């Protein structure tokens, strides 16, 4: 479009250079050259990916310049510049919609009529001069309406490009659903979006502003299953009107004809809201799920349905690949855990059983009257506890589940510190929020970091007390481990706990060490979204 305007401007320069009036052509030449230079700069920036180059403001600037160059209408070049005003009308219709195109056409035609003063000297102007604005008034709206399909295609291509920029099948289905629904929400001003997928593991995702897309779980999952199950896999649905008197319409997605709406489907659409649509998703002719969108004010139009259908046809293959790859990763991980469980059963559990039998034999030889009897019993209890934990881990691995993920991280931490205290006599105090529930991987990492910190305190200090504080702020889970300084102990030199730092880095966290007069503190900060379950 801008190249065509440049051609028109070049023709204008050639024509104006041959003008008889020296003053007026000079002014027009300067304006035309300036406009050509501006158009060239804007075209280069557009090709360079400048987002503001697609603003609807620039076609209005183009139209204003062409209107100026077309004056007076008695000029030989006026028809060329006047007719060229249709190009900005088409451009603004592509960028902003048919309403913007019609508005620019009407404003341009009215401006031409006012500048000519047709109501005062209509008899002095050639008939074709008055025909230019009327021709623009006729062709402008028609051109704006004709380019509407091209605008919709352009918007769909742009959305797909932004989606593909942020997509990677290795990131899993939830990530791609969140990106897709977020882009649709920005494009359609959504207040709610629901996407269901019938893949290897059927899931339903709910998107809300400020929250993003999250898989629906618990009691809500059955509610949404019932709602989506009431919608036909062969019909598109529209809910239009007010909350009390909203009308639900169903369209056959194959024959493009209206169909009666069943009462369960009507209730399901009303649950979405008065301004909602539901679109069935299909892959190779098989039902794959539903896409449901809702907003608070403006009704969806029937023309929105084919636009969304075309978009989802392009997006669904990537969503299916992500879902399949995620399922394969889970199956591969489960198979690997089974193999590791079998190996651990043969290589780790059996030696622990032998240790247990040896301690029991030693206890029988010592007898209850022996001075070491209580110590042997305490060590035997620790060995039995560790053997049971190892059996649980191995049993979970052999069944394909990660039994090492503690369901109660605080209780596991307290058991761990109690064992450490019993073995080494180091007093450990644990203070943590009861409501804090860490993800399994983060909980295991926390237990390892606490164990590493306690071992470092025992090996490298003369501390007698360690305090573990765990809490969460608005952005992070914070774990602080403080050990007191023993009598006569100097302030330790700065150090970096390498093992703890490596584990924190896996969760994009950080570790800091500080020294006070009475204690040394190791603080571990884990991002909230990566650690909280």
For every one of its 533 residues, what pLDDT tens digit does the chain have, with 9 covering 90 and above? Answer: 666 666 666 666 566 555 544 445 667 667 777 877 877 787 787 777 676 777 778 788 888 877 777 665 556 666 666 667 777 877 777 776 677 777 887 887 777 777 666 555 555 555 555 566 666 666 667 766 666 666 667 777 888 888 888 877 667 788 889 999 999 998 888 999 999 988 777 889 999 988 888 888 888 888 999 999 999 888 899 888 776 567 888 888 666 678 888 899 989 998 888 889 999 998 777 888 999 999 988 888 887 888 888 888 888 888 888 888 877 777 777 777 777 766 766 666 677 778 778 888 888 888 888 888 888 888 888 777 777 777 766 666 555 544 444 445 667 777 778 877 877 778 888 887 654 566 556 677 787 888 888 888 888 888 889 999 888 766 678 889 998 887 777 777 778 888 888 888 887 888 999 888 888 899 998 876 554 44
Residue 426: closest CA among 471, 382, 456, 381: 456
Q: Distance between CA 331 and CA 404 in Å, rounded?
A: 18
In angstroms, how far is CA 83 from the centroid of its own chain? 45
Q: Distance between CA 283 and CA 289 in Å, rounded?
A: 9
Note the pLDDT of residue 217.
83
CB pairs under 8 A, 24+ apart, for 324-332?
A: 324/199, 324/200, 325/169, 325/170, 325/172, 326/172, 326/173, 327/199, 327/200, 327/201
Residue 202, helix vs strand vs coil: coil
What is Dmax (Cα atoms) for the chain? Answer: 132
**What is the DSSP pairing of strand 465-472 with strand 427-432?**
parallel
Give the HSE-up count for residue 454: Cα atoms under 13 Å, Cβ half-sphere. 27
DSSP element (H, E) containing 283: strand 276-283
Note the pLDDT of residue 16.
55
Residue pair 278/272 in contact by the 8 Å Cβ criterion: yes
Q: Name the one residue in this structure whose structure tokens are 């702020």.
A: 473
Look up residue 521 and give its DSSP letter. E
Q: Name the one residue in this structure whose structure tokens are 């237990």.
A: 447
Q: Distance between CA 357 and CA 376 in Å, rounded?
A: 12
The partner residues of 279 in beta bridges, in order of sequence, read 291
85-100 burial string, b = 16+ CB within 10 Å, else e?
A: bbbbbbbbbbbbbbeb
Note the pLDDT of residue 8.
66
């Amino acid at each position: 479009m801008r190249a065509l305007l440049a051609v028109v401007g070049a023709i204008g320069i050639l024509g104006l250079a041959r003008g008889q009036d020296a003053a007026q052509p000079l002014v027009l030449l300067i304006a035309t050259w300036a406009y050509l230079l501006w158009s060239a700069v804007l075209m280069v920036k557009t090709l360079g990916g400048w987002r503001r180059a697609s603003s609807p403001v620039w076609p209005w600037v183009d139209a204003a310049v062409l209107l100026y160059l077309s004056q007076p209408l008695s000029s030989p070049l006026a028809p060329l510049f006047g007719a060229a005003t249709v190009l900005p009308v088409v451009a603004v219709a592509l960028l902003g919609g048919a309403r913007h195109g019609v508005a620019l056409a009407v404003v341009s035609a009215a401006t031409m009529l006012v500048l000519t003063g047709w109501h005062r000297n209509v008899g002095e102007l050639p008939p074709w001069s008055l025909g230019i604005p009327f021709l623009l008034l006729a062709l402008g709206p028609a051109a704006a309406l004709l380019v509407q399909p091209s605008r919709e295609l352009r918007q769909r291509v742009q959305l797909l490009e932004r989606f593909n920029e942020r997509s990677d099948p290795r990131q899993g289905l939830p990530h791609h659903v969140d990106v897709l629904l977020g882009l649709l929400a920005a494009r359609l001003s959504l207040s709610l979006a629901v996407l269901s997928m019938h893949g290897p593991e059927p899931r339903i995702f709910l998107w809300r502003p400020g929250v993003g897309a999250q898989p629906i779980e618990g009691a809500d999952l059955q509610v949404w299953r019932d709602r989506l199950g009431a919608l036909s896999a062969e019909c598109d649905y529209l809910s239009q009107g007010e909350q009390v008197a909203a009308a639900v319409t169903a369209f056959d997605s194959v024959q493009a004809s209206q169909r009666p709406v069943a009462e369960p489907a009507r209730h399901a659409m009303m649950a979405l809201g008065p301004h909602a649509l539901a679109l069935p998703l299909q892959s190779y002719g098989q039902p794959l799920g539903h896409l449901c969108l809702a907003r608070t004010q403006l009704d969806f139009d029937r023309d929105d349905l084919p636009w969304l259908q075309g978009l989802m046809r392009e997006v669904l293959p990537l969503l299916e690949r992500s879902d399949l790859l995620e399922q394969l990763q889970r199956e591969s991980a489960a198979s690997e855990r089974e193999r590791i469980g079998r190996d651990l059963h043969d290589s780790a559990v059996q030696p622990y059983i032998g240790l247990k039998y040896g301690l029991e034999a030693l206890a029988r030889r010592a007898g209850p009257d022996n001075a070491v009897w209580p110590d042997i019993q305490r060590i035997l209890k620790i060995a039995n506890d560790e053997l049971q934990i190892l059996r649980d881990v191995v049993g979970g691995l052999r069944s394909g589940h990660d039994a090492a993920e503690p369901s109660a991280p605080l209780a596991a931490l307290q058991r761990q510190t109690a064992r450490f205290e019993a073995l080494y006599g180091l007093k450990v105090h644990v203070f943590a929020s009861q409501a804090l529930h860490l993800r399994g991987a983060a909980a295991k990492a926390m237990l390892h970091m606490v164990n590493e910190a306690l071992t470092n305190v025992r090996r490298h200090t003369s501390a007698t007390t360690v305090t573990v504080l765990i809490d969460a702020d608005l952005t992070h889970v914070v774990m602080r481990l403080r050990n007191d300084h023993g009598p006569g102990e100097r302030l330790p030199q700065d150090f970096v706990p390498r093992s703890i730092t490596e584990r924190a880095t896996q969760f994009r966290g950080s570790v800091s060490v500080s020294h006070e007069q009475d204690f040394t503190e190791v603080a571990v900060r884990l991002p909230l979204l990566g650690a909280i379950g």
